[in-house]
């Protein structure tokens, strides 16, 4: 790969026709964090899992933030384009189609930024505890792109109004958004796994 490469893990598909997944970890995670989740959500899918390039007190992230919930939006834009270039390179190297992003927290936020800035990079997205990544996003056509947004009603990090704004923003851009609010905090629950697995199974069936 070129200089657009991220430290990453790739696991090839074991079931033909399964959508490849792009796994995007939260703050302090790495390229191994969501491999197990990916297998639970879509057994047999190819898994592409990069490590965020930004360090915050030694913890990997996908972009800088100025404070809790306050993003460095210039960095968000730059890092989203870098990640988009990496995905394009990885698709060529590994021979995969456009992936469905599965992002948690910071990883969900960069996935949302990809949808808004480089919409052709992703086939869809599962956004776990995501926030609006850009205060002034560009006009984009998401043309029915499937998105599952799972929020926690007791999440101390993501305000309910913020996740609702993200759902509205993506819907207005044409995405087919399903937004579910779960009885959970910021951490993931079994309900997240079950809903994500059922959702991607439906998306897979529709694609077939």
C-alpha 57 chain-centroid distance? 23
| 47 touches 94 (CB < 8 A) | no
Tell me the chain's radius of gyration from C-alpha atoms: 15
Catalytic entry in 8, 81, 179, 186: 186
Q: What is the mean pLDDT of the chain?
A: 94
49 noted as active-site residue = no
- Tokens coding 56: 């915050």
Query: Catalytic annotation on 45?
Result: no
Share of the chain above pLDDT 90, in %: 91
Instruction: Supply angle C-alpha 53, 58, 64, rounded to 5.
Output: 50
Arithmetic mean of pLDDT, 7-27: 96
196 neighbors 102 (Cβ within 8 angstroms) = yes
- Residue in 42, 45, 105, 163 annotated catalytic: 105
Closest by CA position to 145, among listed 101, 180, 184, 189: 101
120 is catalytic: no
Please state, in angstroms and rounded to a whole number, the distance separating the CA atoms of residues 122 and 124.
5
Beta strands in the chain (DSSP E): 8-11, 21-24, 47-50, 54-56, 59-61, 65-67, 70-71, 100-104, 124-128, 146-152, 176-182
Residue from 85, 155, 163, 192 carrying the catalytic annotation: 155
CA distance 65 to 106: 10
Give the pLDDT confidence of 53-100 residue by residue, as tens digits. 999 999 999 999 998 888 999 999 999 999 999 999 999 999 999 999
Given pLDDT bands bounded at 50, 70 and 90, which one contains residue 202?
confident
pLDDT at position 207 is 59
Tell me how far CA of residue 115 lies from CA of 13, 55, 77, 133, 203, in angstroms.
24, 23, 11, 10, 17
Pairing of strands 54-56, 59-61: antiparallel
Q: How many CA atoms lie within 13 A of 44 on its CB side?
A: 10
Q: What pLDDT is stored for residue 5 in this prediction? A: 79
């Amino acid at each position: 790969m070129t200089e657009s490469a991220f430290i990453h893990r790739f696991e090839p598909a074991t079931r033909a026709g399964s959508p490849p997944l792009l796994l995007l970890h939260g703050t302090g995670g790495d390229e191994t964090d969501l491999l197990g989740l990916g297998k639970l959500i879509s057994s047999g899918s190819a898994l592409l899992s990069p490590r965020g390039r930004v360090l915050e007190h030694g913890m990997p992230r996908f972009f800088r933030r100025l404070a809790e919930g306050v993003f460095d939006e210039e960095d968000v834009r730059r890092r989203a384009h870098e990640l988009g270039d990496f995905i394009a390179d990885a698709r060529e190297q590994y021979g995969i189609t456009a992936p469905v992003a599965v992002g948690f927290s910071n990883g969900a936020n960069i996935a949302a930024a990809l949808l808004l800035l480089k919409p052709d990079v992703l086939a869809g997205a599962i956004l776990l505890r995501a926030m609006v990544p850009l205060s002034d996003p560009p006009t984009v056509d998401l043309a029915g792109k499937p998105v599952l947004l799972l929020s926690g009603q007791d999440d101390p990090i993501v305000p309910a109004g913020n996740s609702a704004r993200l759902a509205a923003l993506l819907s207005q851009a044409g995405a087919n958004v399903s937004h579910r609010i779960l009885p959970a905090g910021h951490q993931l629950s079994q309900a997240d796994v079950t809903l994500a697995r059922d959702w991607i199974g439906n998306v897979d069936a529709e694609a077939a």
